């Protein structure tokens, strides 16, 4: 039977193809047979079931129309057709018909859902906007009502157990979710389209005012909440339902009585990471009536229903969406709405958020510790809401309740990351801990958002936080002294390291994000804290129980950090048995923690720690309740500061000498030194141990050597400025010590290595030296650039010989070019006239040396982009990209006047010309497929066409031809849309220069003008092609205007050629009139007044005329 049905279907399909085919493609006999088959089907008795034909008796052709619309995407579909589809699909029980209708509705709605077109159809922005507006006005609300009616009928008639009912429910939920995610057309069209897109590109649901009948009694919220209770066990239906609820949570706008327009604005208070969405109503006043507003009723109903449904069990597939619902509810709705909640509802909502946050913490963190971040974002959503609650609802009768819930959240988080007895963190298997193939991720980066929120929670419950953290630290430090490293198992060691690592991370986040500006409650002078901190450094560990006085939380935590840092140092320095407990990751966290605390406890320059700042007072003269004294600090120049620097220097040496293979740890140690150089420069510079330490090690072999060298050079410069008014001998003693002790020996080692005739293994060492010298160049400033340039002169002299001698070493060549790039960027701008000349000569020699040694690598017959991978291509061309960046930096700091008089100007022009001669023949289409190289090359062309155009004018015809070849390829969009924009800018710059030069009638730009005028056809084509791209349209029309000004006759010749095309003959008169209007700024009666108009006014008028020109010639102008 199945075979028989299959054969019949094959015959039917073949007959349909014959009927639909062109007459010249089938024989007459086949057509007669196909017609006979369909006639026999027509005369036969119907074999369709009742459910199949129900509803089709009234509209017998609708099924074929719907099928045609679904299969053929270019069939016109008007509003009447859509209304017909909506009217028939709703009450019809034919699932196939409903599927066709809903597919059409979904396709049309998806097309107009965004501010810009979503499909690949080439429709203009204006057409899309008008069609979208008409769709919103006529159909969108009908679709929502259709979805509500159908879903209500399904919910009342069945329990949605049958597959057919579930399918229909799913389809209408999809339509409803699409409507709730709709980006409505704004009522006012801004002139600045960027502002328009930024203001209305939101994820909130903003229905217009004529939708208020759906939201006035909040029944839509109750309906979707009840619907979700019926389908929450079905995971597929549940996701669409939760999407609808998430969008309903964000509903706002005119339909809820929020005034004529709502804009998204950042909260004024708080840091940039705490910006929340608030509403700003233009023309609306705050609701002062005792009657509940529509918006308040809506939010209260939504919150009450949400709590009622999800207060019990929350399924795993619901948790992520529930967090999004709560996030949108509290971030999109104005905070005053929640403040007007009844006390009981507000308390229930706060408890609801806290309970779900606590429920999610443990599974989210346990999975995250195993590199499964499924619940990371949901937990971050809940943390954001709770953090906002702390800051906004804390003074509305819920202070103590919020504080208690915050303590529970903190306790749950601490337990999820700590092992017993303080927590319940799962034991990780050996494979999960030591995966040789996996890159170890930094916990501070992975959990940065969560730790940031935990830091703010800790500040809200600082007493609980301090008590818990101090108890853990005290216990773990006791264990450190008692653990037997011989009998200790790997699991015990891992548990201890992880616990201490996480405690330090949490403390660091509190210090880094939250304690700046923390009020400790008591103002204490340094004399009160110096003995305590000194004792913590000298005799760790510190036991708070033995301290006779009372310490505020910040001081207590600071003392523990100092104590731990000193204790860790003693273990590493003496190589005690317990030092094996200190993993590199734990030491890295310790360095990072200590670095942030040192920065935090460095007092500000505008007030002294010995004199407390004045408290502000209210208008009635009473001191504000929340104003207390600032954090304890360690002032510069004290014995305690010297003691800390001495300890840090000793530990710095221990890490670099005993753990040199731990790159990240060494970078953390160097980062500590750079922070000392920035925040306590004089204390560090006057410490003799610094010079002893640095003279005993080879800085060029350290990781992060560039940053360390830069900080040391800046350290000497800062102390020179501070001691500039002191005695000259003391200034020399401090200022030159860095150079004499560190820089000069390093330079001598480099020169010795250059002169030695050893193996090519020295190339890596030379590259390390150049990285150090790049750090020296990075530290250049206006008053020190000349001296640093003189210091680096021997290095400059060795660059070209090294490139020639080591032409096969890309590592060394990249290091040399990177050093020169830094010198060009920082030092070149500040040096004197003679240094400029010598540097110009050096750059010329560099370009020549690179051309001789590396040019062959990039020839078109040699260079192949390996595997077509752009990343691999960037590695292959890294040195060439760096050379181009050097030339870009050179031109960004150089201006060449039309007449080259001085030697500096002439040498600058030579560099520009030689750079063009080197690069233009080299830049093949294959080479420019490398994104970074392509971007750098076109940036260089923009610089040259802007500030050094004389180099292009003086170049040979072959160079000009190569330049136009690259520009043409970019205009053809071979290298991406950004390069099209760059090419348009280059053409505009060249044309503008030629216009100015033509006015002088010198004739030196004749060849360039001829080449530019050949771009007129392409420029007109681009102006029309990118009519929907606002930025590109402006650039293209500007370039076209410049070319017309440069050669109006050439443009007229091109227009006549267009009009003579056979395809344009039918509309020739219309096209002639359109071109005549386009050229109005140049022709006709306006020509007399055009001399008075400025160049900018003419250009603006031309651009306005071009917009009219596009409308006039739409569909009638053929360019080829």
pLDDT score at 345: 93
How much is the pLDDT for 349?
A: 95
Q: What residues pair up with 262 in beta bridges, in sequence order?
A: 281
List, for residues 110-155, the tens digit of each pLDDT value. 666 655 544 444 455 566 667 777 777 777 888 888 888 888 888 8
State residue 263 phi and psi, 5-degree precision.
Answer: -115, 155
303-312, 821-830, 856-865: least confident range? 856-865
pLDDT, average across residues 950-975: 86
- What per-residue string of b and e applies to 989-1008 under the rule 16 or more CB within 10 Å gives b? bbbbbbbebbeeeeeebeeb
Question: By mean pLDDT, which of 36-40, 150-154, 279-283, 907-911 is the weakest?
Answer: 279-283
Q: Which helix (H) or strand (E) element contains residue 278? A: strand 278-281
| Omega within 30 of 0 (cis) for the link into 421 | yes
Backbone angles phi, psi at 955, to 5 degrees: -75, 165
Chain centroid offset of residue 810 CA: 32
Contact 1018, 1087 (CB under 8 A): no
Q: How far is it, in rounded angstroms, from Cα 641 to Cα 20?
A: 91
Residue 280, helix vs strand vs coil: strand
pLDDT mean over 740-761: 82
Cα–Cα distance for residue pair 286/283, rounded to 1 Å: 10
By the 8 A CB rule, do 912 and 940 touch?
no
Looking at per-residue pLDDT, the higher value among 544 and 316 belongs to 316
896 neighbors 948 (Cβ within 8 angstroms): yes
Give every CB contact of residue 374 below 8 A, 6+ residues apart in sequence: 320, 364, 367
Q: Where are the domains of the chain?
A: 2-44, 77-283+291-349, 1044-1120
- Give the highest mean pLDDT range of 132-141, 264-273, 553-562, 1087-1096: 553-562
- pLDDT over threshold 50, residue 293: yes
CA distance 220 to 236: 22
Max avg pLDDT among 239-243, 323-327, 663-667, 685-689? 323-327
Contacts of 882 (CB under 8 A, 6+ apart): 814, 817, 818, 821
Query: Measured between alpha carbons, how far is 497 from 711 in angstroms, rounded to an integer?
Result: 32
User: What would the pLDDT profile of 903-961 be if each residue is shown by its tens digit?
Assistant: 666 667 678 778 888 888 888 888 888 888 899 999 989 888 887 787 788 788 888 88
**H/E stretch holding 373:** none
Q: How far apart are CA 419 and CA 500, in angstroms?
A: 10
Residues 6+ apart with CB under 8 A from 26: 18
The reported pLDDT for the residue numbered 627 is 32
Q: Determine the Cα–Cα distance for residues 199 and 304; give it in Å rounded to an integer.
A: 31
1098, pLDDT greater than 50: yes
What is the model's pLDDT at position 94?
Answer: 64
How many Å apart are CA 71 and CA 457, to the nearest integer? 56
What is the reported pLDDT for 5? 59
Residue whose tokens read 């040259």: 944
594 neighbors 627 (Cβ within 8 angstroms): no
Q: Which two tokens stand for residue 887?
A: 């030339």
Q: Which of 463, 368, 472, 492 is nearest to 418 (CA)?
A: 472
Q: DSSP string covering 565-581, please?
A: HHHHHHHHHHT-GGGGG
pLDDT digits over 469-525, tens only? 999 988 888 887 777 767 777 788 888 888 999 999 998 887 765 555 444 444 444
503: phi > 0 → left, psi -120 to 50 → alpha, else beta; which? alpha
pLDDT of residue 298: 92
If pLDDT is split at 50, 70 and 90, which confidence band does 55 have?
very low
- Tokens representing 657 are 């000498």
DSSP label of 1106: H
Given a contact cutoff of 8 angstroms between Cβ atoms, the answer to whether 182 and 113 are in contact is: yes
Instruction: Tell me: cis bond preceding 980? Omega within 30 of 0 counts.
Output: no
Maximum average pLDDT range among 248-262, 622-636, 806-820: 806-820
pLDDT number for residue 984: 93
The CA distances from residue 343 to 291, 349, 350, in Å, are 17, 10, 11
Size of the chain in residues = 1120
Q: Token pair for residue 444?
A: 């501070």
As given in the structure block, the two tokens for residue 991 are 């044309």
pTM for the full model? 0.74
Can you say how many angstroms the Cα of residue 718 is from the centroid of all Cα atoms in its chain? 35
Dihedral of CA atoms 436, 441, 442, 447 in degrees, nearest 10, equals -140
Distance between CA atoms of residues 257 and 252, nearest Å: 8
**CB-based contacts of 833, cutoff 8 Å, min separation 6:** 904
Average pLDDT in the 47-63 region?
Answer: 48
Q: What does the pLDDT look like over 649-696, one tens digit per residue? A: 988 888 888 888 888 888 888 888 888 888 888 888 888 888 888 888
Is 789 or 731 the better-scoring residue by pLDDT? 789
pLDDT in tens, 704-732: 888 889 888 888 776 555 544 444 444 44
- Residue range 368-377: average pLDDT? 90
Closest to 641 in 3D by CA, of 591, 592, 676? 676
Q: What Rg do the C-alpha atoms of the chain give, in angstroms?
A: 37
| 945 or 288, greater pLDDT | 945
DSSP 8-state secondary structure symbol assigned to residue 264: E
Please give the share of the chain, as a percent, with pLDDT higher than 70.
Answer: 74
- Per the CB < 8 A criterion, the answer to whether 170 and 237 are in contact is yes
| 381 has a pLDDT exceeding 90 | yes
Mean pLDDT of the chain: 77
**Nearest to residue 223, comparing CAs of 312, 318, 302?**
302
Rounded distance, CA 175 to CA 155, Å? Answer: 17
Helix (H, G, I), strand (E, B) or coil at 975: coil
> Buried b / exposed e across 1096-1117, counting CB within 10 Å, b at 16+?
eebbebbbebbeebbebbeeeb
Q: What is the pLDDT of residue 747?
A: 92
Residue-by-residue DSSP string for 639-681: HHHHHHHHHHHHHHHHHHHH-TT-HHHHHHHHHHHHHHHHHSH
10 Å Cβ neighbour count for 442?
13
Q: How many helices (H) and strands (E) does the chain have?
A: 53, 2
Distance of CA 397 to the CA centre of its chain: 39
Helix (H, G, I), strand (E, B) or coil at 220: helix
Cα–Cα distances in angstroms (integers) from residue 681 to residues 649, 656, 693, 734, 1064, in the given order: 14, 22, 16, 11, 76
Give bridge partners of residue 280 from the DSSP assignment: 263
Strands 262-265 and 278-281: antiparallel
> Average pLDDT, stretch 396-409?
88
Q: How many CB atoms lie within 10 A of CB 662?
A: 19
* Mean pLDDT on 760-789: 87
Q: Report the distance separating Cα 711 and Cα 681, nearest Å.
A: 10
Q: In the structure encoding, which two tokens stand for residue 97, read together? A: 């018909």
3-state DSSP call for residue 299? helix
């Amino acid at each position: 039977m199945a075979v028989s049905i299959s054969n019949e279907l094959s015959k039917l399909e073949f007959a349909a193809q014959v009927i639909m085919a062109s007459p010249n493609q089938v024989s007459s006999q086949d057509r007669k047979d196909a017609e006979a088959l369909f006639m026999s089907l027509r005369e036969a008795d119907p074999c369709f079931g009742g459910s199949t034909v129900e509803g089709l008796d009234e509209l017998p052709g609708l099924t074929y129309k719907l099928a045609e619309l679904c299969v053929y995407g270019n069939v016109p579909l008007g509003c009447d057709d859509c209304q017909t589809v909506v009217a028939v699909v709703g009450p019809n029980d034919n699932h196939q018909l409903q599927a066709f209708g809903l597919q059409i509705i979904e396709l049309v709605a998806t097309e107009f859902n965004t501010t810009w077109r979503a499909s690949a159809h080439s429709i203009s922005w204006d057409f899309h906007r008008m069609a979208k507006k008409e769709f919103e006005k006529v159909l969108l609300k009908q679709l929502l009502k259709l979805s509500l009616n159908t879903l209500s009928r399904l919910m009342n008639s069945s329990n949605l157990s049958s597959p057919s009912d579930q399918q229909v429910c799913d389809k209408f939920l999809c339509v409803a979710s699409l409507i709730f995610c709709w980006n409505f057309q704004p009522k006012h069209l801004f002139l600045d389209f960027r502002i328009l897109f930024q203001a209305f590109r939101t994820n909130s649901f903003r229905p217009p005012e004529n939708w208020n009948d759906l939201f006035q009694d909040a029944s839509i919220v109750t309906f979707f909440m009840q619907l979700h209770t019926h389908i929450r066990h079905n995971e597929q239906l549940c996701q669409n339902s939760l999407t609808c609820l998430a969008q309903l949570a964000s509903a706002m706008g005119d339909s809820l009585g929020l005034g004529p327009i709502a804009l998204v604005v950042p909260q004024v208070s708080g840091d940039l990471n705490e910006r929340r969405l608030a509403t700003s109503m233009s023309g609306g006043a705050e609701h002062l009536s005792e009657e509940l507003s529509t918006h308040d009723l809506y939010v209260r109903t939504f919150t009450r229903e949400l709590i009622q449904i999800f207060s019990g069990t929350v399924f795993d597939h619901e948790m992520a969406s529930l967090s999004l619902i709560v996030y949108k509810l509290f971030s999109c709705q104005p905070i005053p709405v929640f403040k007007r909640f009844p006390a009981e509802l507000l308390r229930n909502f706060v408890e609801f958020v806290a309970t779900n946050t606590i429920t999610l913490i443990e599974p989210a963190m346990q999975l995250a510790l195993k590199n499964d971040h499924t619940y990371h974002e949901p937990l971050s959503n809940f943390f954001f809401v709770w953090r906002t609650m702390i800051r906004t609802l804390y003074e509305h009768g819920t202070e103590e309740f919020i504080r208690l819930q915050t303590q529970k959240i903190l306790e749950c988080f601490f337990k999820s990351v700590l092992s017993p007895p303080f927590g319940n963190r799962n034991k990780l298997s050996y494979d999960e801990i030591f995966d040789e193939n996996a890159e170890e991720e930094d916990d501070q980066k992975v959990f940065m958002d969560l730790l940031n929120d935990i830091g703010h929670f800790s500040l809200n419950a600082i007493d609980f936080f301090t008590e818990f953290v101090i108890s853990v630290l005290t216990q773990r430090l006791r264990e450190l002294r008692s653990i037997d490293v011989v009998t200790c198992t790997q699991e015990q060691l891992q548990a201890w390291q992880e616990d201490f690592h996480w405690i330090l991370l949490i403390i660091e986040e509190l210090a880094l994000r939250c304690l700046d500006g923390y009020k400790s409650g008591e103002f204490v002078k340094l004399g009160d804290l110096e003995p305590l901190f000194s004792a913590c450094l000298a005799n760790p560990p510190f036991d708070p129980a033995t301290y006779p006085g009372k310490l505020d939380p910040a001081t207590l935590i600071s003392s523990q950090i100092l104590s731990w840092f000193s204790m860790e140092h003693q273990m590493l320095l003496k190589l005690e048995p317990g030092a094996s407990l200190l993993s590199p990751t734990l030491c890295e966290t310790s360095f990072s923690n200590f670095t942030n605390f040192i920065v935090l406890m460095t007092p500000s320059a505008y007030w002294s720690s010995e004199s407390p700042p004045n408290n502000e007072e209210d208008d009635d003269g009473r001191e504000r309740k929340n104003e207390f004294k600032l954090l304890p600090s360690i002032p510069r120049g004290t014995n305690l500061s010297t003691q800390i620097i001495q300890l840090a220097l000793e530990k710095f040496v221990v890490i670099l000498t005993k753990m040199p293979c731990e790159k990240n740890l060494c970078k953390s140690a160097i980062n500590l030194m750079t922070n000392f150089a920035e925040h306590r420069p004089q204390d560090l510079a006057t410490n003799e141990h610094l010079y002893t330490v640095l003279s005993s090690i080879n800085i060029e072999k350290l990781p992060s050597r560039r940053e360390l060298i830069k900080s040391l050079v800046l350290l000497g410069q800062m102390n020179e400025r501070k001691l500039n008014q002191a005695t000259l001998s003391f200034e020399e003693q401090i200022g030159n010590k860095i150079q004499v002790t560190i820089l000069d020996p390093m330079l001598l080692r480099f020169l010795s290595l250059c002169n030695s005739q050893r193996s090519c293994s020295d190339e890596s060492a030379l590259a390390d030296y150049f990285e150090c010298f790049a750090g020296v160049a990075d530290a250049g400033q206006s008053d020190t650039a000349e001296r640093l340039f003189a210091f680096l002169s021997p290095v400059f002299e060795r660059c070209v010989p090294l490139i020639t001698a080591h032409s096969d070493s890309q590592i060394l060549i990249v290091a040399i070019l990177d050093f020169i790039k830094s010198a060009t960027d920082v030092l070149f701008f500040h040096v004197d006239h003679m240094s400029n000349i010598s540097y110009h000569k050096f750059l010329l020699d560099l370009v020549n040396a690179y051309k001789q040694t590396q040019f062959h690598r990039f020839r078109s017959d040699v260079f192949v982009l390996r595997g077509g991978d752009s990343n691999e291509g960037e590695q292959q061309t890294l040195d060439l990209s760096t050379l181009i960046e050097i030339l870009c930096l050179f031109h960004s700091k150089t201006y060449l006047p039309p007449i080259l008089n001085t030697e500096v100007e002439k040498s600058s022009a030579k560099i520009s010309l030689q750079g063009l001669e080197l690069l233009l023949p080299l830049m093949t289409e294959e080479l420019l497929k490398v994104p970074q190289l392509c971007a750098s090359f076109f940036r260089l062309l923009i610089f040259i066409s802007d500030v050094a155009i004389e180099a292009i004018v003086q170049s040979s015809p072959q160079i000009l031809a190569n330049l136009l070849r690259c520009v043409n390829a970019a205009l053809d969009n071979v290298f991406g849309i950004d390069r099209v924009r760059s090419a348009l800018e280059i053409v505009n710059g060249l044309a503008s220069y030629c216009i100015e030069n033509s006015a002088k009638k010198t004739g030196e730009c004749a060849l360039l003008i001829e080449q530019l005028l050949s771009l007129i056809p392409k420029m007109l084509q681009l102006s029309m092609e990118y009519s929907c791209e606002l930025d590109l349209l402006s650039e293209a029309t500007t370039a076209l205007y410049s070319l017309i000004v440069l050669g109006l006759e050439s443009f007229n010749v091109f227009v006549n050629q267009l009009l003579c095309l056979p395809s344009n003959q039918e509309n020739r008169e219309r096209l002639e009139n359109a071109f005549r209007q386009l050229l109005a700024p140049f022709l006709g009666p306006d020509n007399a007044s055009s001399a008075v108009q400025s160049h900018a006014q003419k250009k603006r008028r031309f651009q306005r005329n071009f917009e009219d020109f596009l409308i006039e010639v739409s569909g009638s102008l053929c360019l080829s």
